[in-house]
Amino acid sequence: MEKSHSESYNSANSNTENSNSETKESLPSQSELPWYLRDDAASPLAETAQVELPAVPESAPKTISSFVELVAKDYGFDNLVFFDMTQLDSDHDYSTHQQPAHYILIASGKSEKHIMKAASQLRTHIKHTYDHLPSIEGMVTGGTSPRARRRMLRRSRKGPMATDNDYGKTANSWVMCDTGVDGLFIHMLTPDRRQELNLESLWCREEDAWRYEQQPLRAESSDHIFSGVRRFHTMGPFYMATKGRPLQKLLNSDSSISSGELQGLMADFETSGDVSSKFDFYRIVHLLDPNLVSLQSLTNILLSSKIPKIEAVVAYMKVLMDSRELVSPEETPAAMNQVVDTRLDLLSKFVSHLYAYSGEQIELAGHPELVPLLWSLTVVNKSSIIGSRTIDEAIHSEIEKEHFSNLPSVHIASNRNRDIHHFISSYNEAHSLTPTTSFKEMILFTYGNAGKWSKFWNTFGVSFNLLDNQEPNTMTKWLRLVVYLDLRNDPSAISTFLNKYWSRSFPSIITDLETREFESEKEKHLFKTTMQSLLQKVETPTSTEVQTTLDSL
């Protein structure tokens, strides 16, 4: 197994005399570092560990070895694992007779940003070397994501799935590339995402399964837990839950699959004996065609499953968010309020049934998705929204941002939303808990997406400004705010920002610009260009002062 950066560095010290001076002399300058280490390097002393390359069978084409070296040495991935699918029996679920992959390479990247850059480089390499474009799934950029959301909107003739918005797995944490070269598929994942998916367990030999047994992931609150769940049919052909072929075929389908095909897959699934994936399978069928599997039927399946109670509640909340049975034919406030009432009433009944006679109580802190989901149940999406993931994509992508309509994209059921907000706040206070930055940002963007700008600015002042002015990365807060305002495209909100926060009254963006630093030159450049975009949209008394400040950065 390869050593970590620090282990490799310490080992070098123990085996080489005068290693300190040699290390200093051999340290490359920032410009000489590989692109994947320039922005994300944790320390100037970090060295690139020698990555152990997996063995490639002699029978494999030479191109396979070249790709393995490319991913490890040129792109900086580690913990590489290689699977030769050509050696599997023809009746095996993952033999080359059952799916298109002949060889599979799994590798760990340093971050989502690292993976996105590497995937882009890999696509360019294949295009220039093999004269074709590979198929890449899971690479999310600011330029492609909005179009993808609108395409899904047209396909399903309804708003985008609610659970596609602001909680779940970070974009670019799992990218799969079908190279189109000798049947090689490359999976690039962050370490956490890789542990969670445990793809190795799908393709390893039965006698090697023990090597890939995973310990349960520790549920912890992260600033990135709200960064977006890609819709099930974008997960590609190697989704972690692919245990039986009916489920695999269903996950490879999209919303255009016919009712007849769904019924055929349902019949196949019932004969497969795959009990562990039953809820996952019928959940997708329900989302595609509730006439085949009703919400009540799906609820009964979930209640009778062996899924842990807290996980079952989270799964049910997501179903309530996405079920077509709960979509109102009208977008009137009264109709959308009724949708929210129905969601919360059904959730209450489900929890009461699930926890009846168990002596247990559901705890909001028991799962990182409970609180954001509870908040989201009080909101009805009308069109594509701007959330934390959208901002992440706009900041980290090198593709030009795509702007949204300045009309409200969500409806907030005010009374229910107020009650839920009070309930969450009371729980946090009683348990001495502090809301994560991501949840505070989720609330902020919800108000902005609904056009409730008074609540938006009040939330920003309390949650991100007045009470948090000692945070070390203050400019990140301002960068995310100006990117949101630019995408949201609302002149009144932009004017409020320029008139209220671009002053020397404390706290303000000017005082922070004088005392804080951007995390990178790229972030500073993005801030300047985004501010220029805002200035072009409105004319305010502070416009000249803003331009002068930008010129001085």
The pLDDT value recorded for residue 124 is 93
174 inside domain: yes
87 inside domain: yes
Compute the distance between CA of residue 13 and CA of residue 24 in angstroms, rounded to an integer.
12
* Whole-angstrom Cα Rg for the chain: 25
Q: Report yes or no: 96 and 102 within 8 Å, Cβ to Cβ.
A: yes
274 inside domain: no
Residue 105 sits in which domain range?
62-144+166-209
349-381 exposure pattern, b = at least 16 Cβ within 10 A, e = fewer: ebbeebeeeeeeeeeeebbbbbbbbbbbbbbbb
Which of 446, 399, 402, 403 shows the shortest CA–CA distance to 421?
Answer: 446
Compute the distance between CA of residue 416 and CA of residue 419 in angstroms, rounded to an integer.
5
The SS3 assignment for 54 reads coil
The pLDDT value recorded for residue 26 is 44
Which of 407, 522, 430 shows the shortest CA–CA distance to 476?
Answer: 522
Burial of 313: CB neighbours in 10 Å, binned 0-12, 13-18, 19+? buried
Compute the distance between CA of residue 314 and CA of residue 373 in angstroms, rounded to an integer.
8
Q: Where are the beta strands (DSSP E) in 310-426?
A: 379-381, 410-412
The pLDDT value recorded for residue 138 is 77
The SS3 assignment for 511 reads helix
**pLDDT tens per residue across all 553 residues of the chain:** 333 333 433 433 444 344 444 444 444 444 444 444 444 433 333 344 567 899 999 999 999 999 999 999 999 999 999 999 888 877 777 778 778 889 999 999 988 889 989 999 999 999 999 999 898 887 776 444 455 544 444 444 444 455 554 333 466 788 889 999 999 999 999 888 888 778 888 787 766 766 766 554 443 333 332 222 233 333 333 333 333 456 555 555 555 678 888 888 888 888 877 777 889 889 989 988 899 999 999 999 999 998 899 999 999 999 999 999 999 888 899 999 999 999 999 999 999 999 998 888 888 888 888 999 999 999 999 888 898 888 887 887 654 556 688 899 999 999 999 999 999 999 999 999 888 888 999 999 999 999 999 999 999 988 775 545 445 566 888 999 999 999 999 999 999 999 888 876 656 788 888 888 888 888 899 999 999 999 999 988 888 888 888 888 8
121 inside domain: yes
18 inside domain: no
The pLDDT value recorded for residue 207 is 67
Return the CATH number at 92. Answer: 3.30.460.10
Number of domains in the chain: 1
75 inside domain: yes
414 inside domain: no
368 cis-preceded (ω within 30 degrees of 0):
no
Going 313 to 318 to 324 to 330, the CA torsion angle's sign is: positive
Q: Residues 6 or more apart from 148 whose CB is under 8 A from it? A: 234
Compute the distance between CA of residue 552 and CA of residue 136 in angstroms, rounded to an integer.
41
128-158 exposure pattern, b = at least 16 Cβ within 10 A, e = fewer: eeeeeebebbbbbbbeebbebbeebeeebee
Counts for the chain of helices (H) and strands (E), in that order: 24, 7
With a threshold of 0.85, does the pTM exceed it? no
127 inside domain: yes
